[in-house]
């Protein structure tokens, strides 16, 4: 099986010639003899982005995340560095490099944008030199965003202090990260963003808009328990959603420290389902929301003492490239 670095697209270049190779990629003659990139503003770099593929990433997984970053870069052009660690040390070279570029049209034919990728494969023996090489690959005076994907242990990731401390945002996915990823003492913990929370944005907005029609005191008066139910593959989403509900209910005046809050698994037959329930101890007052992410359909049912409401709605998670932008810029 080929290594992830070999399987991802790009043209291999000497590590010490990355910058000159990137320049030639855009200035070498195209099919008609003209430079491949004719307008300087077509390379309107906005961000530095580092995708760090951990040792737990598979070929298929790495290809999917690479495609996500390519899609993201079409909206936010930038210099992207993809880090591909090797599982074992191998003979020289200890570090290998690839370059990859893509151009695309915006709203008009004159609106052309291009993005640049540098892929770095490194062995454990080359690890001390990695940050130096990454800093050379990045564009100067632009914010850095760092996505650590499928790393095996928080302690090992913590060794990458240059990336963790310099990054404006550090992106983690608590659905696949080590259990302590969100509580680990990172160099800049306020920069950490959970992609699970970002993917839930449409769900949070839909439920928040519905509940905002009621006075906060009616939501928390007599509230005895809150439950988020979930299909097997949505355990992380349920956990993050419950934490979000805890914060929102506390803002409404609920005594969340003594209020039972829990997640509960749904039978596999329920599909890609997620459900919220508020228990007031009697059938007269209640709140229920259930959504199936596979069909995109959701249903609100509620009665806070002013009559029963039943409302159909759409439900979805943010696409991966949109979740990236949500985590990075909002």
- To 10 degrees, the CA torsion angle through 6, 7, 10, 13? 0
∠ CA 138-143-145, rounded to 5°: 80
What is the pTM for the complete model shown? 0.93
pLDDT digits (tens, 9 = 90+) for 19-34: 999 988 877 755 455 5
Task: Please provide residue 41's backbone torsions phi and psi, each rounded to the nearest 5 degrees.
Answer: -75, -5
HEC string of the chain equals CCCHHHHCCCEEECHHHHHHHHHHHHHCECCCCCECCCCHHHHCCCEEEEEEECCCCCHHHHHHHHHHHHHHHHHCCEEEEEEEECCCCCCCCCEEEEEEEEEEECCCCCCEEEEEEEEEEECHHHHHHHHHHHHHHCCCCCCEEEEEECCCCHHHHCCCHHHHHHCCEEEECCCCCCCCCCCCCCCCHHHEEEHHHHHCHHHHHHHHHHHCCCCHHHHHCCCCEEEEEECHHHHHHHHHHHHHHHHHHHHCCCCCCCCCEEEEECCHHHCCEEEEEEECCCCCCEEEEEEECCCCEEEEEEECCCCCEEEEEECCCCCHHHHHHHHHHC
Q: Is the peptide bond before 93 cis (omega within 30 degrees of 0)?
A: yes
In the predicted model, what is the mean pLDDT of residues 149-163? 95
Q: Could you give the CA distance from residue 204 to residue 81 in angstroms, rounded to a whole number? A: 32
Task: Assign 42 a pLDDT band (cuts: 50, 70, 90).
Answer: low
Q: What is the mean pLDDT of the chain?
A: 91
Instruction: Answer with the residue of higher pLDDT: 37 or 245.
Output: 245
Instruction: Answer with the residue of higher pLDDT: 45 or 52.
Output: 52
Q: Which residues contact 14 (CB under 8 A, 6 or more apart)?
A: 21, 97
Contact indicator for 276, 287 with CB cutoff of 8 Å:
yes
Contact indicator for 313, 299 with CB cutoff of 8 Å:
yes
pLDDT digits (tens, 9 = 90+) for 217-272: 999 999 999 999 999 999 999 999 999 999 999 999 999 999 999 999 987 655 69
pLDDT at 31: 47
Enumerate the domain spans of the chain.
Answer: 4-195+324-329, 201-314
Q: Which residues contact 111 (CB under 8 A, 6 or more apart)?
A: 105
Q: Could you give the CA distance from residue 195 to residue 176 in angstroms, rounded to a whole number? A: 10
Q: Could you give the CA distance from residue 182 to residue 171 in angstroms, rounded to a whole number? A: 10
Q: Could you give the CA distance from residue 219 to residue 252 in angstroms, rounded to a whole number? A: 8
């Amino acid at each position: 099986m080929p290594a992830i670095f070999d399987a991802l697209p790009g043209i291999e270049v000497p590590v010490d010639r990355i910058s000159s190779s990137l320049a030639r990629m855009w200035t070498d003659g195209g099919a008609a003899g003209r430079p491949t990139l004719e307008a300087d503003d077509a390379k309107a770099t906005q961000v530095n982005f580092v995708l760090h593929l951990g040792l737990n990433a598979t070929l298929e997984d790495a290809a999917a995340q690479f495609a996500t970053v390519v899609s993201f870069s079409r909206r936010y052009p930038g210099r992207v560095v993809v880090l591909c660690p090797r599982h074992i040390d191998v003979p020289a070279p200890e570090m290998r490099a690839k370059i990859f570029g893509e151009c695309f049209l915006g709203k008009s034919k004159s609106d052309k944008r291009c993005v640049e990728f540098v892929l770095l494969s490194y062995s454990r023996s080359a690890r001390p030199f990695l940050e130096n090489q990454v800093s050379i690959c990045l564009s100067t005076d632009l914010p850095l965003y760092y996505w650590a994907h499928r790393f095996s242990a928080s302690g090992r990731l913590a060794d990458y202090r240059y990336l963790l401390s310099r990054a404006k945002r550090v992106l983690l996915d608590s659905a696949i990260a080590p259990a302590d990823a969100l509580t680990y003492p990172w160099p800049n913990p306020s920069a950490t963003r959970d992609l699970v929370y970002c993917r839930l944005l449409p769900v949070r907005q839909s439920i928040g808009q519905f509940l905002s029609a009621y006075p906060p005191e009616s939501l928390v008066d007599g509230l005895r328990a809150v439950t988020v139910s979930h299909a097997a593959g949505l355990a992380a989403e349920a956990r993050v959603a419950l934490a979000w509900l805890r914060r929102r209910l506390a803002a409404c005046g609920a005594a969340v420290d003594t209020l039972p809050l829990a997640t509960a698994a749904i039978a596999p037959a329920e599909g890609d389902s997620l459900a919220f329930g508020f228990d007031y101890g009697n059938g007269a007052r209640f709140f229920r929301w259930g959504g199936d992410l596979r069909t995109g359909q959701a249903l609100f049912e509620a009665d806070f003492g002013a009559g029963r409401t039943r409302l159909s709605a759409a439900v979805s998670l943010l696409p991966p490239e949109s979740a990236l932008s949500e985590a990075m810029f909002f």
